[in-house]
A = this chain, B = another copy of it.
Amino acid sequence: MSDITPKTEARAGILKAMAHPARLFMMEELAKGERCVCELREMVGTDLSTVSKHLSVLRNAGLVEIDKRGPQIFYSLTTPCILKFVDCIDAVVRSNAEKQMELVN
Contacts and interface: CB of A to CB of B under 8 A. Distances in A.
Given A8-B28, A24-B15, A82 B78 contact: no
A3 B45 contact: yes
Total copies of the chain: 2
Range for the number of chain A residues in contact with chain B: 35 or more
A26 B96 CA distance: 20
Contact of A16 (B19, B86, B90): B19
A55 to B, nearest CB: 15
Interface in A73-97: 78-79, 81-82, 84-86, 88-93, 95-96
A12 B91 CA distance: 13
Given A12-B19, A85-B84, A2 B43 contact: yes
A20 B12 contact: yes
A10 interface: yes
